[in-house]
């Protein structure tokens, strides 16, 4: 028998994307409005208005005065379910199937509404109870969640400082070719770098391990805004 959530996704396929986007924007930034949501989903404001109306009729979202959007308790539950499935599918693709790290996000989106809660929990156990996705974003409720969400932007890292990458934000993942760029530069969770400086909107950094330790790497500042780090001792 299909669950209520499965029936909703069958009738309204984009519901999963809207729910998770609203959840993530609220988690990472606080306020959610129509224009920001439209930018994330990649649709017009009018399309967002229509989809929000459907979510409200389904009892999954509400829109506060002055345009602030929030999920209901049921909407949060469904968003968390989809997000956990998405992150675990990314791990399955990358770690088990050896699918490219930079492509796993898009593939997981195609699958995230299709697997059962039982399979989700089975994956969580078999994958070793991961607390983040392969790109470093925390599973909802993870003990690492607060620290990862509070981690500073790579664009604000001090010159000369040594840093360890902890995540590429979900917003960053939505930018075309962002993960390709990060992959090509070795900017992934766990990688360490030294910041050389920022000139002309470009952050220059040197890897502290691996084949690129002698060559400066260049990352546009607007991309570095979506990479989070923690300082490491020299």
Tokens of 78: 């469904």
The residues pairing with 69 across neighbouring beta strands, listed in sequence order, are 63
Considering only the top CATH level, what class is 151-231? mainly beta
pTM value?
A: 0.90
Domain ranges of the chain: 1-135, 151-231
Mapped to the 3 state alphabet, what secondary structure does the chain carry?
CCCHHHHHHHHCCCHHHHHHHHHHHHHHHCCCCHHHHHHHHCCCHHHHHHHHHHHHHCCCEEECHHHCEEECHHHHHHHHHHHHHHHHHHHHHHHHCCCCCCCHHHHHHHHCCCCCHHHHHHHHHHCCCCCECCCCCECCCCCCHHHHHHCCEHHHCCCCCEEEEEEECHHHHCCCCHHHHHHHHCCCCCCEEEEEEEECCEEEEEECCCCCCCCCEEEEHHHHCCEEEEECCC
Q: What is the pLDDT of residues 53-84, one digit of tens each?
A: 999 999 999 987 768 899 999 999 999 999 99
Q: What is the pLDDT of residues 181-192, one digit of tens each?
A: 999 999 999 999
Residue-level pLDDT at 210? 66
Residue-level pLDDT at 66? 65
Residue-level pLDDT at 211? 61
Topology classification of domain 1-135: Arc Repressor Mutant, subunit A (1.10.10)
The predicted model gives 164-172 an average pLDDT of 96
With bands split at pLDDT 50, 70 and 90, how would you rate the model's confidence at 141? very high
With bands split at pLDDT 50, 70 and 90, how would you rate the model's confidence at 8? confident
Residue-level pLDDT at 1? 47
Q: What are phi and psi of 190, to 5 degrees?
A: 100, -20
Percent of residues, the chain, with pLDDT higher than 70: 96
Tokens of 81: 């379910």
Q: What's the rounded Cα separation, in Å, for the pair 75 and 41?
A: 17
Domain 1-135 and domain 151-231 have a common topology = no
The predicted model gives 171-182 an average pLDDT of 94
With bands split at pLDDT 50, 70 and 90, how would you rate the model's confidence at 213? low
Q: Which residue has the higher pLDDT, 45 or 114?
A: 45
Evaluated on CA atoms 208, 210, 216, 218, the torsion sign reads negative
Look at residue 231 and tell me whether its pLDDT is greater than 90: yes
Residue-level pLDDT at 201? 92
Q: What's the rounded Cα separation, in Å, for the pair 31 and 146?
A: 18
**Nearest of 148, 149, 142 to residue 28 by alpha carbon:** 149
The predicted model gives 121-139 an average pLDDT of 97
| Segment among 30-44, 81-95, 118-132 with least mean pLDDT | 30-44
């Amino acid at each position: 028998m299909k669950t209520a959530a499965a029936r909703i996704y069958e009738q309204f396929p984009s519901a999963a994307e809207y729910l998770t986007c609203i959840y993530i924007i609220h988690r990472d930034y606080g306020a959610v409005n129509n224009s920001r949501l439209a930018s994330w989903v990649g649709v017009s404001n009018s399309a967002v208005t229509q989809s929000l109306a459907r979510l409200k009729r389904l009892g999954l979202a509400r829109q506060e005065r002055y345009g602030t959007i929030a999920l209901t308790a049921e909407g949060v539950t469904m968003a968390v379910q989809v997000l956990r499935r998405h992150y675990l599918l990314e791990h399955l693709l990358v770690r088990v199937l050896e699918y490219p790290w930079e492509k796993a996000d898009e593939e997981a989106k195609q699958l995230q509404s299709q697997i059962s809660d039982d399979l989700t929990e089975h994956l969580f156990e078999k994958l070793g109870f991961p607390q983040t996705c392969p790109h470093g974003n925390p599973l909802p409720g993870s003990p690492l969640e607060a620290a990862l969400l509070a981690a500073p932007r790579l664009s604000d890292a001090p010159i000369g400082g040594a840093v360890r990458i902890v995540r590429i934000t979900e917003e960053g993942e939505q930018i075309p070719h962002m993960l390709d760029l990060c992959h090509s530069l070795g900017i992934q969770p766990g990688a360490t770098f030294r910041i050389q400086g920022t000139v002309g909107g470009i952050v220059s950094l040197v890897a502290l391990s691996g084949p690129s330790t002698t060559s400066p790497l260049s990352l546009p500042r607007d991309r570095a805004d979506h990479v989070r780090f923690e300082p490491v001792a020299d």
